[in-house]
Amino acid sequence: MILTVTLNAALDLTYRVPRLLPQTEHRVTQALERPGGKGLNVSRVLAALGHETVVTGFAGGPTGETLRRLLADAPGPLTDALLPVTGTTRRTVAVTDAATGTTTQLNETGPDITPGEWAAFTDRYAQLLRDADAVALCGSLPPGVPVGAYAHLVRQARARHVPVLLDTGGEPLRRGIAARPDVVKPNAAELAALTGSTEPLRAAMDARRRGAHTVAASLGPDGMLAVTPDGIWRATTPRPLQGNPTGAGDSAVAGLLLARDLPWPDRLARAVALAAATVRSPTAGDFDAAAYEDLLPQVRVTAM
C-alpha cells in the first residue's frame, strides 16, 4: 500500500471559457469539480493504474463533504483516511482560456487546524505507516500546522523504515529536507528558492547535500533531473508537448512511487511519461492512459 499525505486538500473547480479577459463578464462553457491537493492527485493516478493507495490529511465543512463524496467515486483501489476537522476545506479555481490553452489558477489558503486536530492526525499517520510500503508527503501546509510538520512526518516514516518522498516548497521543504527523506521532488522554482541557484544540476546537488538521499527535480518541458547516490540522469520527451500542465508534477510523483523498485533511469522514464500523459489529457489534472503507454518507450534518459 502507498500512503499519500495531503494536509491542505482542496476541492478543485475548473472553468473553461472561450477567452479570458480582465474586467470582463465571461460565459463558462464547461465546469468540472474533483477532489484535489497534491497527494490526492498522486493517489488518484496510482489507483487508476491499479495500485492500492490510502489518502490521509484533513477534510472539513461542506467543501470537505463534497470532496469525500467525489473521492468515493474515484476508480481503483483508493481508501479515504482523511481526518475530519472543524474548519472548511479550501477550494482552488482553475480558469482555462480555450483560445490560448493557458490556465489561470486561484487558490484559497485552507482551514485553520487546531493543536488537537494536528495531534490527532499524527496519531492516525503513525497507525497508517504500519501497513505502508511507501509514503508521499505532498503540498502546502494549512494555517495552524507547524512549519516543521513535514520534518516530523519524515522522521516518523524513517523510524519505521518506510521510504518517504517529500514534495513541497518554501520553509516546509527547507526543514523537511534536513530530516533526510529518501526522495525530494521539487520543481525548478522550488529548487531555486531552496538553494539560490537557477542552474538545475548545481541546485539539485546542493539540495542533496542538505539531506535528501535523492533529488528528482521536475523541470517542466525540460523533463526531470535525478541526482542519486548511484548517478545522475536527465529524462525528456522527444518533443515539446502541447496541453495543460496542471497536475503533471503530481503524476510524476506517482510514477516515481509505482516504479520505486526499479533502477533510477526506469523510474524517471515512468515519471516523465505519466507527467507528459497528464499534459496531453483533455481534462486538467487527469492523465491519458493511452498516451502514457505510447509515450513511455519514447522517453529519453541520459546519464550525466
How far is it, in rounded angstroms, from Cα 131 to Cα 53?
11
The residue to which cell 515512468 is assigned: 270
Cell of 159: 523510524
How far is it, in rounded angstroms, from Cα 35 to Cα 28?
20
How far is it, in rounded angstroms, from Cα 24 to Cα 114?
40
Out of 167, 182, 250, 286, pick the active-site residue: 250
Question: Quick one: 225 exposed, middle or buried, by C-beta within 10 A (0-12, 13-18, 19+)?
Answer: buried
Strands 164-167 and 134-138: parallel
Active site residue 250: yes
Cell of 165: 518522498
Cell of 203: 541546485
Cell of 260: 520505486
Q: Provide the Cα torsion 289, 290, 295, 296; round to 10°.
A: 60
Catalogue the active-site residues: 250
